[in-house]
Structure 1
Amino acid sequence: MRVDQLAAMRLFVRIVEMGSFGKAARSMSMSSSNATERMARLEEILGVRLLARTTRAVAPTEAGARYYELCCRLLGELDEVETLLAGSQEMLAGRVRVSANVSIARSILVPRLPAWFEQHPGIHVELVMNDQRSDFVHEGIDFAVRIGGLEDQDLVLRPLGRPRRVTVASPAYLKKMGTPESPDDLANHHLIDFLLPQRGARLEWEFDKDGKRQTLFPRSIASIGDAEARLQLAIAGMGIVQSLSFIAAPALGEGKLTRILKSWETPAPEVSILYRRDRHLPTRTQATMDAFTTWIKEAISAAE
């Protein structure tokens, strides 16, 4: 395989992941016309059309999607061999693109990234923070961190642990309004719901007593679509929220919030790392995944 064909393969992968000739060309310090010419030459060599343009974006054809998978695997293995030959496995280098739930990213991953970058300055982590299903191919995701079930793709799931749903309020609020002794008492309190991405949908409040699960949609005074924002409102004394244990842990440790209805708590959905079954994982990706795994397990365990 010629060197210029390898360069064209790298460009092709970047175009698929960015959905744009222009963006991909700029990221590789070349002109759009040069990128277009290289792709035309690559398609001519392969004898198939790899990319389909629309007025808004570029997407791989069916053959292009298959070729993308092969390119990612081949280029990943090539990069790893070059890294090993260049010196040592300790000097990991390259891009790792991760999709993670916003709450996990803010509470667990982001605070630990500075130390990780000091240890591995050659790794460029791209952290996509969202709570939506990821398209691993078109978004160029190496692995994802998710709360809940497996996404509907051919993915490997690595379970990391189950946080708990904790019900919390500020000491000032509880002093003013009293402390509820059971979920039924919440009807007399100010509650702040979690607003799901679906329009108008709210996350239910879950409780468990003596093995009996109780799901409630109690009347609330506000619905907020961000876990951290809800905790800030609770800290400010606005009302009671139900959160995940690792998100509330810092405020609980500092005494800004108080854990209530503890005997009624339920486990939340499991936190897992997901990655493509058919994708070779370069050493840099595996190392980043292992670090994220350790951080998340520690955070979930510490918040119990």
Structure 2
Amino acid sequence: MEVFIQVVDAGGFSRAAENMQLPKATVSTLIQQLETALSVKLLHRTTRQVTVTADGAAYYERCLQILTDVKEAEESLSRTRLSPSGRLRVDTPTGLSSEILVPALPAFFERYPDIQLELGCSDRPVDLIEEGVDCAVRGGHLVDSTLIARRIGVLNFLTCAAPAYLEKYGTPQHPRDLARHRCVNYFSAKTGKIYDWDFNRDGERIEVPMPGVIALNDSNAYVQAGLAGLGVIQMTDYLLHKHVGEGRMVQVLPDWSTDPLPVHIVYPQNRHLSAKVRVFVEWVAELFDSHPAMRIRPPAHASATAAPTLMMETA
């Protein structure tokens, strides 16, 4: 049943075998044995794709419930809740990983020594189901999806430039002054769209595209572009505050604020939330709640919520 669910979710035998760390031949044999035992064809196979039959779709839903019940029964009779173990696959944005998550991981492993963490670090949103990821940390607004999302913090932004750049081009005094400056833009790794910049002050709101000679889709590379003096940048506080504190970057337009963006941890809604996923979700929420750069700052446009809700996948 577990193999069948993985094949349906992944849309093929190869990806399912990779996710389960099994030989492809083993996965194929198990599905054939299952179909023989049930006397029902569960999957349509072609050279290009694998799709589920009508009987297979009905069986898939029953398998999900059965395996959830089995997992809950096992956990209720074991020490798994107290000492979760096993492989945990998590996907996180590059900057959040390098600056916040990875430095805090020694404390996580001290608390949960039996978990083997596989941490994917990318600003490209992954497909959790297809790629076999247990949960992911997502920054930004969420769009339609079948994921459960728990809000765990916000991203606050600073507008900065390197001292050498400001010495050469001057310091902007108003967001409209940026039209005469070089700006480093950021584009979506998923859609290719370049993000506009926004500014707020005393009820006045300005949201405009910025002129630039370079655009990047990796947060760490984006900060490096600013440090190299390629232009004015607008990036998250947690990536810039140390550079500002050490004088490598200078905050500009400090009397203008930028809309904070929510941070969620998301996981598939059709999955039993295992002990290892549950403790990681709680640990990340606790970590972000204690991090000064991740808190909502006044004036706040929305308050964080601890309750999980059915939300949407990041664009």
- Fold match by TM threshold 0.5: yes
Report what 1:292 is aligned to: 284
Is 1:180 the counterpart of 2:172 in the alignment?
Answer: yes
| Selected match of 1:256 from 233, 248, 252 | 248
The aligned amino acid for 1:145 is: V
Q: Closer, same or farther in 2 for the Cα pair 1:280/1:27, shift >3 Å?
A: closer
Is 1:105 the counterpart of 2:85 in the alignment?
Answer: no
Report what 2:238 is aligned to: 246
| TM-score relative to the length of structure 1 | 0.80
Is 1:140 the counterpart of 2:132 in the alignment?
Answer: yes
The aligned amino acid for 1:301 is: M
Q: Closer, same or farther in 2 for the Cα pair 1:198/1:154, shift >3 Å?
A: closer
**Does the 8 Å CA contact 1:157/1:275 hold for their aligned counterparts?**
yes
State the alpha-carbon separation in 2 of the partners of residues 154 and 18 from structure 1.
Answer: 15
Deviation string, structure 1 residues 25-84 (Cα, Å, up to 9, x no partner): 577676544432321121233344333333245454455455445545544554454456
| Selected match of 2:116 from 124, 129, 139 | 124
| Selected match of 1:195 from 184, 187, 192 | 187
Is 1:170 the counterpart of 2:159 in the alignment?
Answer: no
After superposition, the CA RMSD in angstroms is 3.2
Question: Which structure 2 residues correspond to residues 21-36 of structure 1 after superposition, within 5 A?
Answer: 21=13, 24=16, 32-36=24-28
**Does the 8 Å CA contact 2:88/2:116 hold for their aligned counterparts?**
yes
| Selected match of 1:52 from 44, 65, 80 | 44
Deviation string, structure 1 residues 93-136 (Cα, Å, up to 9, x no partner): 12333333344334333333344234323223333444555544
| TM-score relative to the length of structure 2 | 0.78
SS in 1 for 2:97: helix
The aligned amino acid for 1:180 is: P
- Between the two proteins, what is the percent identity of the paired residues? 34
Report what 1:5 is aligned to: none
**Does the 8 Å CA contact 2:200/2:206 hold for their aligned counterparts?**
yes
Question: Which structure 2 residues correspond to residues 81-96 of structure 1 after superposition, within 5 A?
Answer: 81-82=73-74, 85-87=77-79, 89-96=81-88
Count of residues in correspondence between the two structures: 296
State the alpha-carbon separation in 1 of the partners of residues 52 and 247 from structure 2.
Answer: 53
Q: Which runs of 5+ in 2 are unaligned?
A: 298-315
Deviation string, structure 1 residues 256-299 (Cα, Å, up to 9, x no partner): 22222121112232112223444321111100111122223334
Report what 1:301 is aligned to: 294
Q: What is the CA-CA distance between 1:191 and the residue it aligns to? A: 1.2
**Does the 8 Å CA contact 2:92/2:137 hold for their aligned counterparts?**
yes
Q: Closer, same or farther in 2 for the Cα pair 1:144/1:69, shift >3 Å?
A: farther
State the alpha-carbon separation in 1 of the partners of residues 23 and 265 from structure 2.
Answer: 37
Moved more, 283-292 or 84-93: 84-93
Q: Closer, same or farther in 2 for the Cα pair 1:117/1:245, shift >3 Å?
A: same
**Does the 8 Å CA contact 2:151/2:262 hold for their aligned counterparts?**
yes
The aligned amino acid for 1:211 is: G
State the alpha-carbon separation in 2 of the partners of residues 54 and 118 from structure 1.
Answer: 47
Q: Which runs of 5+ in 1 are unaligned?
A: 1-8
**Does the 8 Å CA contact 1:69/1:279 hold for their aligned counterparts?**
no
